[in-house]
């Protein structure tokens, strides 16, 4: 009982110490570099985009990468479901499981393609209409 209380208190103290240390480092770095914009400029790499939206923006790159990964997984699952269907040997439960795998893989591909279209539409709308959508560094 006492051991659990000591563990809980020590974890809480370490968490508070870590939080204070991290925030004080961030505040010190922001003060040295000229505020938030200076801190963002100092943290920015040499070939990293500064725009949040647009064809080369950070948001576009991240979403395209994630949607590509979902598409790859869906194609792999489609192939896996096809192989399961081929080796099922006519056994009803295995055939049903393989058909479900193929069906869900196709649904995943459809969702990935529609998500890509919707996200690109939203990104182009945000990039075209909002002047404050860019991180000016």
pLDDT single digits (tens) 50-71: 665 566 667 777 888 888 888 8
Residue 53 DSSP label: S
Mean pLDDT taken over the chain:
75
Q: Which domain holds residue 6?
A: 2-43
Given a cut of 90, is residue 92 above it in pLDDT? Answer: yes
Same domain, 63 and 33: no
Per-residue pLDDT of 18-51, as tens digits, reads 776 666 665 655 555 556 666 666 666 666 656 6
- The answer on 114 and 73 residing in a single domain is yes
Residues 125 and 62 in one domain: yes
Establish if 137 belongs to a structural domain: no
How far apart are the C-alpha atoms of 136 and 115, rounded to whole Å?
28
Task: Please tell me the predicted confidence (pLDDT) of residue 133.
Answer: 44
- Cα(97)–Cα(111) distance, integer angstroms: 21
Residue 107 CB contacts under 8 Å (≥ 6 apart), including other chains = none
Is position 136 within any domain?
A: no
Would you say residue 99 has pLDDT above 90? Answer: yes
Q: Is residue 134 part of a domain?
A: no
The CA distance from 132 to 111, in Å, is 30
DSSP code of 51?
Answer: B
pTM of the model: 0.51
- Residues 65, 108, single domain; the answer is yes
Does 89 share its domain with 116? Answer: yes
Q: Are 70 and 96 members of one domain? A: yes
> Any idea what DSSP says for residue 36?
H
Residue 53 covered by a domain? no
Give whichever of 25-39, 103-117, 120-134 has the largest mean pLDDT. Answer: 103-117
87 belongs to a structural domain: yes
Q: Can you tell me the distance from the alpha carbon of 44 to that of 47, in angstroms, rounded to the nearest whole number?
A: 8
**How many domains are there within the chain?**
2
CA dist., res. 128 & res. 42, Å (int): 28
CA-based angle 49:133:51, to the nearest 5? Answer: 5
Is residue 52 in a domain? no
């Amino acid at each position: 009982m006492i051991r659990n209380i000591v563990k809980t208190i020590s974890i809480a103290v370490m968490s508070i110490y870590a939080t204070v240390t991290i925030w004080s480092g961030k505040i010190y770095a922001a003060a040295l570099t000229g505020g938030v914009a200076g801190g963002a400029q100092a943290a920015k790499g040499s070939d990293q985009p500064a725009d949040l939206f647009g064809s080369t923006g950070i948001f576009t790159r991240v979403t395209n990468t994630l949607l590509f990964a979902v598409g790859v997984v869906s194609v792999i699952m489609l192939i896996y479901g096809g192989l399961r269907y081929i080796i099922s040997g006519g056994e009803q439960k295995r055939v049903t499981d393989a058909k479900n795998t193929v069906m869900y893989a196709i649904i995943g591909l459809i969702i990935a393609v529609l998500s890509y279209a919707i996200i690109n539409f939203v990104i182009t709308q945000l990039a075209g209409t909002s002047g404050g959508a860019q991180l000016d560094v």
